């Protein structure tokens, strides 16, 4: 009978961790050590390309030879990631002599420390040990991860929201502190008197399939007090919000489009200054024809901190959902995403359709159905061949997705005949049909 392990959270920032071995096990172990800020020293005659890239980028130290006892000088922890039991045992022996904990990939029973199966959820880390059985640990971890994805918003809010800055996480997104300066969230009048600081997250919801939101976007959504959602946001995501979350449907705001945008900006700022965690949920990616930049500027001007979480944009995902890669080796080495909401001859148009006609690559047109006849005619008039393959993808990645295959010369007429409607993207280029047959 072996005694129970004693769980610890090691704070490895700036501390030396030695990894012996440079193969697939080391490749899998090193990222979490780097995430913890450890000063990682790799000891191995050879490295996988992934590890080599980290060494080349100056993020890891590498001693290109077999292990020597002095490699453990100054180390707090050693991970043995080699198969050879004799070599591994000799590392273990040196580590034990020096009282350095030693994780062994080859033999758990000989190790002095075990690495748990882990799931991270914002500031919360859950580590599971399976009594020496890694599969059991992973099964339990997976179950907890699923629970947390759904529950942490309601159960974990008190702890995550109480600490300013913790709920939006620091990694991955772009954190922008408003004009009020770092730490002065709500300086324009909201967060005084001990009230908690509000903030805004501009979150891309993806193109339509609710599973195509990012992990980070989903987490922020589960932590929100207020959600301001667009028309194109997958309804199922909103279905799962807690009942006490205030849901503002941005598409129902009256007035014209520009006034409505001002209203939305005002709602974001007002709620955040009142202390709310606000998620502005937008279809696709917030910065692709999504007016995310305007909302960011409005929040910044009011001193409200903003996090931007990119999303899967329909400009790439809609073609993909129809089996069309926007680039393909030997077929298209570029793709251009353009808005078709203004006719090519509109004085307000910022698009050089004549120049686009001269490109060989893929052209992806968003918001282009209404003006498609004028757009295709302009492209053809400036030299893009009418027989260039073209496709229209409506409501991509949803259960009602429809795809039309055609050519540049005929797509506008075919579109009317097929009665396709927005939201849809139009794809022009030889990539259409590349993967067929």
Question: What residues line the site for ligand SAH (CB under 6 A)?
Answer: 207-208, 232, 282-285, 288-290, 313-315, 318, 366-367, 393, 395-397, 422-425
Helix, strand, or coil here: 250?
helix
Tokens of 40: 């990682």
Report the residue number, 28 or 231, with the smaller CB distance to ligand SAH: 231
The catalytically annotated residue of 225, 230, 282, 285 is 230
Question: Measured from the CB of residue 260, what is the shortest distance to ligand SAH in angstroms?
Answer: 15
Residue showing the smallest CB distance to ligand SAH in the complex: 284
Question: Measured from the CB of residue 186, what is the shortest distance to ligand SAH in angstroms?
Answer: 29
391 sits in the region (left: phi over 0; alpha: psi -120 to 50; else beta) called: beta
Question: Could you give the CA distance from residue 251 to residue 233 in angstroms, rounded to a whole number?
Answer: 10
282 among known catalytic residues: no
Question: Measured from the CB of residue 369, what is the shortest distance to ligand SAH in angstroms?
Answer: 8
Question: Measured from the CB of residue 330, what is the shortest distance to ligand SAH in angstroms?
Answer: 27
Report the residue number, 372 or 424, with the smaller CB distance to ligand SAH: 424
Tokens of 141: 């971890």
Question: Measured from the CB of residue 213, what is the shortest distance to ligand SAH in angstroms?
Answer: 12
Backbone phi, then psi, for 246, in 5-degree steps? -80, 120
Identify the burial level of 306 via C-beta atoms within 10 angstroms of its C-beta, where 0-12 means exposed, 13-18 middle and 19 or more buried. buried
252 among known catalytic residues: yes
Tokens of 81: 């990631």
Report the residue number, 71 or 285, with the smaller CB distance to ligand SAH: 285
Report the residue number, 302 or 424, with the smaller CB distance to ligand SAH: 424
Question: Could you give the CA distance from residue 309 to residue 286 in angstroms, rounded to a whole number?
Answer: 8
Question: Could you give the CA distance from residue 306 to residue 293 in angstroms, rounded to a whole number?
Answer: 11
Neighbours of 62 (CB within 10 A): 18
The catalytically annotated residue of 239, 244, 252, 436 is 252
Contact 336, 363 (CB under 8 A): yes
Question: Measured from the CB of residue 315, what is the shortest distance to ligand SAH in angstroms?
Answer: 6
Contact 362, 427 (CB under 8 A): yes
Element (H, E) at 309: strand 306-309
Report the residue number, 208 or 389, with the smaller CB distance to ligand SAH: 208
Question: Could you give the CA distance from residue 127 to residue 121 in angstroms, rounded to a whole number?
Answer: 11
Question: Could you give the CA distance from residue 421 to residue 402 in angstroms, rounded to a whole number?
Answer: 10
Backbone phi, then psi, for 204, in 5-degree steps? -80, 125
Report the residue number, 21 or 208, with the smaller CB distance to ligand SAH: 208
Residues whose CB falls within 8 Å of the CB of residue 242, separated by 6 or more in sequence, listed in order: 153, 154
Residue numbers annotated as active site = 230, 252
């Amino acid at each position: 009978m072996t005694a129970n392990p004693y769980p610890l959270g090691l704070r490895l920032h700036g501390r030396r961790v030695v990894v012996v071995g440079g193969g697939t096990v080391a490749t899998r172990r090193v990222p979490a050590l780097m995430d913890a800020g450890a000063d990682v020293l790799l000891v191995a005659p050879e490295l996988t390309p992934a590890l080599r890239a980290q060494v080349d980028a100056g993020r890891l130290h590498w001693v290109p030879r077999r292990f020597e006892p002095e490699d453990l000088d100054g180390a707090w922890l050693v991970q043995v990631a080699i198969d050879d039991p004799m070599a591994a045992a000799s590392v273990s022996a040196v580590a034990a002599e020096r009282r350095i904990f030693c994780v062994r990939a080859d033999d758990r029973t000989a190790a002095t420390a075990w690495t748990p199966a882990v799931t991270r959820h914002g500031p919360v880390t859950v580590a599971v040990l399976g009594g020496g059985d890694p599969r059991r640990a992973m099964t339990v971890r997976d179950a907890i991860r699923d629970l947390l994805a759904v529950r942490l918003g309601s159960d974990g809010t008190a702890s995550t929201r109480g600490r300013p800055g913790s709920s939006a996480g620091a990694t991955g997104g772009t954190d922008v502190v408003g004009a009020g300066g770092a730490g002065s969230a709500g300086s324009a009048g909201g967060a005084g008197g001990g009230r908690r600081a509000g903030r805004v997250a501009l979150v891309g919801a993806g193109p339509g399939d609710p599973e195509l939101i990012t992990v980070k976007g989903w987490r922020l959504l589960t932590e929100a007090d207020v959600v301001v959602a667009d028309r194109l946001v997958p309804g199922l995501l909103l279905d799962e919000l807690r009942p006490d979350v205030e849901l503002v449907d941005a598409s129902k705001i009256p007035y014209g489009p520009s006034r409505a945008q001002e209203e939305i900006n005002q709602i974001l700022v007002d709620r955040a200054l009142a202390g709310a965690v606000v998620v502005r949920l937008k279809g696709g990616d917030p910065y692709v024809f999504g007016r995310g930049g305007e909302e960011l500027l409005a929040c910044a001007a009011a001193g409200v901190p903003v996090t931007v979480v990119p999303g899967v944009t329909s400009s790439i995902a809609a073609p993909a959902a129809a089996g069309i890669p926007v680039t393909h080796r030997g077929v298209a080495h570029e793709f251009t995403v353009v808005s078709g909401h203004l006719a090519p001859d509109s004085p307000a148009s910022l698009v050089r359709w004549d120049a686009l006609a001269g490109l060989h690559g893929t052209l992806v047109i968003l918001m282009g159905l209404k003006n498609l006849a004028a757009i295709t005619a302009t492209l053809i008039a400036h030299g893009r061949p009418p027989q260039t393959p073209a496709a229209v993808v409506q409501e991509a990645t949803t259960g009602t997705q429809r795809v039309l295959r055609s050519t540049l010369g005929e797509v506008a007429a075919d579109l009317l005949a097929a009665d396709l409607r927005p939201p849809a993207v139009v794809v022009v280029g030889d990539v259409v049909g590349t993967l067929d047959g």
